[in-house]
Structure 1
Amino acid sequence: MKIIKLNATNSTNSFLKELGQNSALENFTVVVTGEQKKGRGQQESKWISEPFKNLTFSVFTNDFDLEIRHQKYLNFAISLGVFNTLAHHKIPNLSIKWPNDILSANKKICGILIENNIKGTKINSSIIGIGLNVNQEKFPDTIKNVSSLKITSNLEFDLDRLLIEIVENLKKTIHLLSLKEYLKLETDYLTALYKNKIPSMFKDKDGILFMGKIIGVSNYGNLQVELEDETTREFGVKEISFL
């Protein structure tokens, strides 16, 4: 594990990507910054974090042999790597909100952005961007339903130690891809999945409300929701939300 520490940068994912264009990256190279000025989330949404209070970092990995059609298992592995770390610290009411947000007591504490490099029919490598709210206690009024490890546990965390723990757990879960342990990854992910198999009210991208329950994730990584008439609909990222 090679860790590169920066006081500030626009985006750790972008920094690591540019670094990889100029030199060969060691597997599990990590770039971590105290202040990320232009943090990114899913589909170019912003990740806002108080400087030097949280973990904002990116990890390069090519430690797997994965067909593009099995991409959802990479997401499962990465989500579980973070989830397992926080579970070890007994963070209360943990869950994974599809596709890869980590919640505590229904509030978001971690966001993950995965950017893959494709070669032929396989994912050749990935850059995993992780923003984890750790010791921050106050958030802007414009950000709703967010929390941090300190708020949920009343404990102050050592950022350096927590970073190493997360990367070590990522190594373990990503290694399961090399072993083709897809069933275990899917079972563990669905066990941790927020509102899985629980009837809930949803809203689609057109603003239409409907009742349904999450029943799984399709081969293409879409969320599968069973409706009241027992038919199943699939949704991509940003196409569905909880009411």
Structure 2
Amino acid sequence: MRIDKLHTIDSTNDYLKRISKKENTQEDMVVWAKNQTAGRGQMGTKWMTQTDKNLTFSVYRKIQRITIDEQFFALMAASLAIKDVLTKLLIKNVRVKWPNDILTDNDKICGILIESVIKKGRLDAMIIGVGLNVNQTEWSHLPRATSIKKQTGIHFKLEEILQMLLEQFRHYVQLLIDGKFEKIKKDYENCLFKRNKPATFLKPNGEKFVGIIKGTTNSGKLILLQENDVLKEYDLKELQLLY
């Protein structure tokens, strides 16, 4: 697998999109940056990180055996891979806050951004962007941020954790290729933050309501149990989990 290690870049996801388009990339590729000046999360949010203290990288992977409708399974698989590695590193109570934040207890330790490469109306490849807090221990204006070092007291070598993550990604990519979608979805739902517990949600119009997370649809919508035992589905633009 080709690995490009850079000092400073705007966004590892954007870099891979440019390179894959320019070079018509056919091989798997990783770009790892010590510093991102314009790292992104879901819904256009920014991912801020201290230089050379955390892992900010993206993986370009050809995944032509799944369809556009099945692409949320790639996000589920990536979330599980990161959860597995964090658990091996003795991080406790690792959960996935729908759809793409990785928490330990109530604190965010990692974010994922997956973007699709569509060619001729078909899913050609996926770009998996990861921002993992490793050795940073202080954040301004982010009271619920944490890191591996803050949780364990251990200073880690970034490259060692990157290799662990890439190895676990390969495992889950193989599950995708083998069509193990039901297993991936079941494992993802089992580690959802606040699953089967009352939680408060916020709609874009400012309305708050209480619901119970029951799972997700195959396309990534959140399934909530609401008043009168009604099940409703929401996408990311329709609500925010307050916690």
What is the aligned residue count? Answer: 242
Partner of 2:184: 185
Cα deviation 1:76-125 (Å, max 9, x = unaligned): 11111111111111211100111111001111111111110123554210
Aligned partner of residue 108 in structure 2, secondary structure: strand
Aligned partner of residue 61 in structure 1, secondary structure: strand
Pair 1:205 & 2:201 matched: no
Pair 1:91 & 2:91 matched: yes
List, as ranges, runs of 4+ consecutive aligned residues in structure 1 with deviation greater than 3 Å: 119-122
Q: In structure 1, what residue type is equivalent to 2:115?
A: E
Cα deviation 1:130-150 (Å, max 9, x = unaligned): 10111001001x223111111
Cα deviation 1:150-170 (Å, max 9, x = unaligned): 111111111001011101111
Summarize the alignment of residues 1-243 of structure 1 with structure 2, pairs less than 5 Å apart: 1-25=1-25, 27-120=27-120, 122-140=122-140, 142-243=141-242
Q: In structure 2, what residue type is equivalent to 1:97?
A: K
Q: In structure 2, what residue type is equivalent to 1:10?
A: D
Mind listing any 5+ residue stretches in structure 2 that lack a counterpart? none
- Partners of 1:64 and 1:175 within 8 A in 2: no
Change (3 A) 1:156 1:238: farther
- Partners of 2:63 and 2:123 within 8 A in 1: no
Give the percent of matched residue pairs that are identical in Structure 1 and Structure 2: 36
**How far is 1:201 from its partner?**
2.0
Q: In structure 1, what residue type is equivalent to 2:113?
A: L
With structure 1 as the length reference, what TM-score do the two structures score?
A: 0.95
Mind listing any 5+ residue stretches in structure 1 that lack a counterpart? none
Give the alignment's Cα RMSD to 1 decimal.
1.4
Q: In structure 2, what residue type is equivalent to 1:204?
A: K
Change (3 A) 1:212 1:176: same
CA distance in 2, matches of 1:88, 1:26: 32
Q: In structure 2, what residue type is equivalent to 1:117?
A: V
Aligned partner of residue 228 in structure 2, secondary structure: coil
- Partners of 2:63 and 2:126 within 8 A in 1: no
CA distance in 2, matches of 1:205, 1:175: 38
CA distance in 2, matches of 1:226, 1:203: 15
Aligned partner of residue 47 in structure 1, secondary structure: coil
- Partners of 2:200 and 2:211 within 8 A in 1: yes
**How far is 1:220 from its partner?**
2.5
Q: In structure 1, what residue type is equivalent to 2:179?
A: K
